[in-house]
């Protein structure tokens, strides 16, 4: 059984690591790793391979950046060559980035079965490129591995056959569990001077937030206000850094007594900071899941989420991008007023085992 596993961007690396680790336990599975190169910055890519003990990719497509159409087209053109050469039994894709859809489409055209890990997630906001990628990838997939009951409902409502859908849990939690021991030993808090007092961990990268100067200014203003109450640590995504520079405002993008800007961090260092945070503020889907599992309060700087279980059951709260609402919610959390959520069913660190067992059964 030859399986091509696809990664393209940082969230993919964390999801694929426990799956390839589990596949390697079975000699009948020949696992091939393809990195499309959608993330090409070292800290966004190579360091994650090291931290997650991912093997060197068998193929690196080096597609780099570009518009959605350009990036998707480059992935399709180069990935087709890989499939023509390797002729795998299955292509496994994860998440919702451009590489996910591009590789699923190429495989489907070549009549190679597709498995989608993290299927069925929906924000119901088609202005998000990721939502388009999710919808189309699920329609192309033969095996759909889901993280929560709402994802099952979404797929059934869209006409996906029930026998294709498998509830397996969340591979992001598998990845977190695999890295947690290493993360606890990291000295990143000492290096950043965070040993004393509470701190807020912030991430920001979605185009809807960082590409709009008004929204970006509002978020940064609220963060400045929050930093007077607790230290704020902000590892800055390259896209976000470029947009902050374009604001040409010395108030933003510079360290102060209350806020520290850093370059992107590797997986182990970031997880250490996540474990110690009093509050996490983010527009990332994966971090919403991790904070729910770790029982850490999370404020999501969006009006919607494709992971509603983190709100209905977990510690997540949607606050949008209004600076007054962001500030008020942060004050409440830092004062101890936040909901203690529950960990969703099957988020137990064993999702990859379930996925690989299903693959072995289907191809036996």
- Give per-residue pLDDT as tens, 96-142: 999 999 999 999 999 999 999 999 999 999 999 999 999 999 999 99
pLDDT, residue 40, reads 61
Summarised one tens digit per residue, pLDDT across range 22-48 is 999 999 999 999 999 976 655 556 777
Residues 2-170+347-363: name the CATH superfamily.
Answer: Glycogen Phosphorylase B; (3.40.50.2000)
Summarised one tens digit per residue, pLDDT across range 302-321 is 999 999 999 999 999 999 99
Summarised one tens digit per residue, pLDDT across range 246-302 is 988 777 766 776 899 999 898 999 999 999 999 999 999 999 999 999 999 999 999
Which residues touch 1 (CB under 8 Å, ≥6 apart)? Answer: 28, 29, 30, 89, 90, 359, 360, 363
Catalytic position from the list 68, 116, 205, 350: 205
Do 180-334 and 2-170+347-363 have the same topology in CATH? yes
At the top level of CATH, which class does the domain 180-334 belong to?
A: alpha beta
Q: Where are the domains of the chain?
A: 2-170+347-363, 180-334
Catalytic status, residue 205: yes
pLDDT, residue 258, reads 87
Which of 1, 266, 17, 2 is CA-nearest to residue 117?
Answer: 17
Summarised one tens digit per residue, pLDDT across range 323-349 is 999 999 999 999 999 988 999 999 999
Tell me which of 286 and 64 has the higher pLDDT: 286
Say what the pTM is. 0.94
Tell me which of 92 and 11 has the higher pLDDT: 92
pLDDT, residue 238, reads 86
């Amino acid at each position: 059984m030859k399986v091509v596993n696809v990664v393209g961007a940082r969230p993919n690396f964390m999801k694929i690591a426990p799956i390839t680790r589990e596949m390697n336990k079975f000699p009948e599975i020949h696992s091939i790793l393809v990195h499309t190169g959608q993330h090409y910055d070292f800290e966004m890519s190579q360091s994650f391979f090291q931290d997650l003990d991912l093997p060197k990719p068998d193929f690196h497509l080096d597609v780099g950046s570009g518009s959605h159409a350009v990036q998707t087209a480059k992935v399709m053109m180069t990935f087709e060559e890989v499939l023509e050469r390797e002729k795998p039994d299955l292509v496994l894709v994860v998440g919702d980035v451009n590489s996910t859809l591009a590789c699923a489409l190429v495989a489907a055209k070549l009549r190679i079965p597709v498995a989608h890990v993290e299927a069925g997630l929906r924000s119901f906001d088609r202005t998000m490129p990721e939502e388009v990628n999710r919808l189309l990838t699920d329609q192309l997939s033969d095996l759909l591995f889901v993280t929560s009951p709402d994802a099952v409902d979404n797929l059934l409502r869209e006409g996906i056959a029930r026998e294709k859908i498998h509830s397996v849990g969340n591979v992001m939690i598998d990845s977190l569990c695999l890295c947690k021991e290493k993360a606890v030993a990291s000295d990143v808090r000492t290096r950043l001077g965070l040993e004393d007092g509470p701190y807020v961990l912030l991430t920001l990268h979605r185009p809807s937030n960082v590409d709009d100067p008004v929204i970006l200014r509002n978020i940064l203003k609220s963060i400045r206000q929050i930093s007077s109450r607790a230290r704020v640590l902000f590892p800055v995504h390259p896209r976000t850094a470029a947009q902050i520079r374009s604001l040409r405002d010395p108030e933003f993008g510079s360290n102060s007594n209350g806020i520290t800007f850093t370059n992107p961090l590797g997986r182990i260092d970031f997880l250490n900071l996540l474990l110690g945070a009093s509050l996490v503020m983010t527009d990332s889907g994966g971090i919403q899941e991790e904070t729910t599992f770790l029982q850490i309060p999370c404020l999501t700087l969006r009006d919607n989420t494709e992971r509603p279980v983190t709100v209905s059951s977990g510690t997540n709260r949607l606050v949008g991008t209004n600076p007054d609402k962001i500030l008020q919610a942060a004050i409440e959390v830092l004062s101890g007023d936040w909901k203690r959520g529950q960990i969703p069913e099957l988020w137990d660190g064993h999702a990859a085992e379930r996925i690989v067992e299903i693959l072995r059964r289907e191809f036996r």
